[in-house]
Structure 1
């Protein structure tokens, strides 16, 4: 299926690594591909695999926006519409057909499919993209896929792709009696990127919880204006979340460029607009989704606020929440590299070089600090409530995992020895946070399936809330008939039990 050499958009650095990758998969059945962002691994590798295996190639991306974008790009390279040879499936949206050879899904959906039917009938190869991000769903998908290869489908080919060179642990997990899985590297021909250190003056307060000092956001907007005056090409701006994107977008009102937001809660049409070059210069305000998962064309300059939003778990309260933290040096390098994909570029960093040297080398894996209730339930559904026998890259922290399993017992999701109950399977089948899933299952018999689904869809966070008043927000979203909300309501209604 891979288009021939010379086809526009396909002569990318990863192409030279494809013969070695094919040989590694033929020899070992599992392999690790290390390729920097922009080398073409997400689009060219699945097409190459599909031309070598008889069944479908399943590609797992950590985010919905990345899954849709990857499928659109591969379909465009083939000159076909999405849903033909290349399709995608994400929560609430699917475009695939009987002719689909490459299907891009989220890692969460891959976990759901593995739980429903571990043999993955019709699938010949599984590709896990962006494994270096170490999200919980990615760790689970890797562990479950390796378990399937060992016990049920030894012929299933498994490929883990990473944008960083720290592949040793992955290779060990995916190896067998003959040693670690082979590691194939594709070098990227990135251009030089000039760093510009521009910390706010006077210094601003560090982030706390989800709050970000407004003076930092003003400094980001000033750096964007400076970048527009000093450089050419489009500008990619990294901010921690949707609220900060909206704030900086407002501060940039009137600049001589198209300002485009990019984050996971946007409608698909707005995400497409941010990823599509236009006749005017663009400023793309993005979360870390554009760090490695997506390639924004035309970017010559990056403005980096130096922050990321990550899940954190409070053991004392027994609840998880998002927290704003400083990025790691590895993430800062990945972000800067987006300016050097097509030509020499420049990165404006909102911190000093001395601060840069003190940043952590790499981000912590999500399992080390997040709410593990969902992970514990997935392990129980798999039949390994304590994770024994599974190739998890890191074991869950003991204290957080104990709290998670106790929460499952209180919810009635697990019984003695951690065995999953029918209620536990019903909770995980909803495809939402466990507390929201519980609200749906318990609320539907009381207030009706539709009403419960509407409230849970509003609380899920896919639709940005304009008020803290739940009733007012519910009435507003019902009047607006937001497409994302109505789609999620329909999906949740199908998962909710009928009233007695």
Structure 2
């Protein structure tokens, strides 16, 4: 059960929209042990749902986030509300970093960390509740984690409390997967959005948005100009959305000298640099971010959004024979989520770097990763689970047959699967390394030849995308 600090937080919580849904969530968990929470970004679901569950179960509550930066930020936020340092009542685990203790009742982890725990011990000893956050992103490991947890609850742990949280209307599909013939209860929490004015800012006709190398310097100039315009026309801090780290850094350079603090925000930054972007200062801020701020993080003080209109999706990089990312146009659903960031604290504005006519042609939702991504690691996880083709698992979408066959062929070639598609002992060793299976196999083989340290250096270099600066993955 919840300790004194968590009980105090629940007795005097911050004023967040999600509070209106907690009684319904408590009732759903009491009746079914299952629930789907549908709430827009910024409603406080990541902050208040885990403590509410901690008050209902005896063991630990594990909360997943799709990105390491979101894991750390969520843990820090909740620990601050409890008046404790991270690692006591609230802890976190990401690859290479562990800040939790025996006293930890709420542990926030990346989805990949949870998947490795499930593969090691599906019973999840000591864990009584799991919260899968950001299910709407349809990340490959998120879909797989949901499917494995449903399998665990059906066959091993019927007592395991399971909550999925989504920011979109796909909550009904998630509820069907969780509950099977009797869908899980859906707790809908409306957002407290203020009006957001839409400003359409397409680039001049002479400016090409992308070429074979990705987003063009000319278009980054346009995004920076739109940001300066927003700074002059609209009050409050500004959040700029760009597809990748290279574009973020390019716009940060272009905004040098403006009358505001310009802060980059992405997963490669140090903890201190991330904190600078997430903490309001004495001057106006312009936070230039990747999609991490779309739903995983809430940036306080934002009243203006500048959206470049791009996102990154996974594809197979055939040149390297590894997974890669390609720049694509944003979906309408993602654009709406980004715009909503401007209306959390008061009336705001979104400056979209495309036209109203182009907006009507955008795809409705992002493509689920399972349909486009390299499936090699996914196929190895399925084989380790004992379901090589995913049969019987509650997957939101089935994997494409051709992509799954190609992944199995790759795994057979590196000795991770046998001829019948079953995982080998070598395959289990490969799966235990948090890397692309091809790189993990190289690490294992090279360690015996050149030693583990040199092997790790070589594999790290192989894992770096070395195409020309600004270059994009074109082959898909």
TM superposition score category, shorter chain reference: over 0.9
Q: CA RMSD in A?
A: 1.8
Q: CA deviation at 1:432?
A: 0.9
Q: Which residue, out of 11, 15, 19, partners 2:15?
A: 11
Q: How many Å separate the matches in 2 of 1:73 and 1:465?
A: 36
Q: CA deviation at 1:453?
A: 1.3
Please tell me whether the aligned partners of residues 208 and 324 of structure 1 are also in contact (alpha carbons under 8 angstroms): no
What is the TM-score normalised by the length of structure 2? 0.94
Instruction: Give the match for residue 392 of structure 2.
Output: 389
2:130 matches 1:126: yes
Q: Which residue, out of 300, 313, 332, partners 2:335?
A: 332
Instruction: Give the match for residue 380 of structure 1.
Output: 383
Please tell me whether the aligned partners of residues 9 and 81 of structure 2 are also in contact (alpha carbons under 8 angstroms): no
Instruction: Give the match for residue 67 of structure 1.
Output: 71
Instruction: Give the match for residue 257 of structure 2.
Output: 254
Please tell me whether the aligned partners of residues 63 and 130 of structure 2 are also in contact (alpha carbons under 8 angstroms): yes
Q: How many Å separate the matches in 2 of 1:254 and 1:187?
A: 40
Instruction: Give the match for residue 277 of structure 1.
Output: 280
Please tell me whether the aligned partners of residues 210 and 324 of structure 1 are also in contact (alpha carbons under 8 angstroms): no
Q: Which residue, out of 392, 395, 410, partners 1:407?
A: 410
Q: How many Å separate the matches in 2 of 1:79 and 1:209?
A: 50
Q: Which residue, out of 97, 121, 146, partners 2:150?
A: 146
2:319 matches 1:313: no
Q: CA deviation at 1:317?
A: 8.8
Q: How many Å separate the matches in 2 of 1:348 and 1:359?
A: 16
Look up the SS of the partner of 1:87 in the other structure.
strand
Number of equivalenced pairs: 464
Q: CA deviation at 1:42?
A: 0.5
2:350 matches 1:366: no
What is the TM-score normalised by the length of structure 1? 0.90
Q: Which residue, out of 48, 53, 57, partners 2:52?
A: 48
Q: How many Å separate the matches in 1 of 2:30 and 2:138?
A: 26
Structure-to-structure mapping, 1:71-470, within 5 angstroms: 71-177=75-181, 179-208=182-211, 211-313=214-316, 319-461=322-464
Gap regions ≥5 residues in structure 2: 1-5, 470-476
Q: CA deviation at 1:387?
A: 0.5
Q: How many Å separate the matches in 2 of 1:69 and 1:53?
A: 24
Q: CA deviation at 1:72?
A: 0.5
Q: How many Å separate the matches in 2 of 1:248 and 1:313?
A: 28
Q: CA deviation at 1:256?
A: 1.1
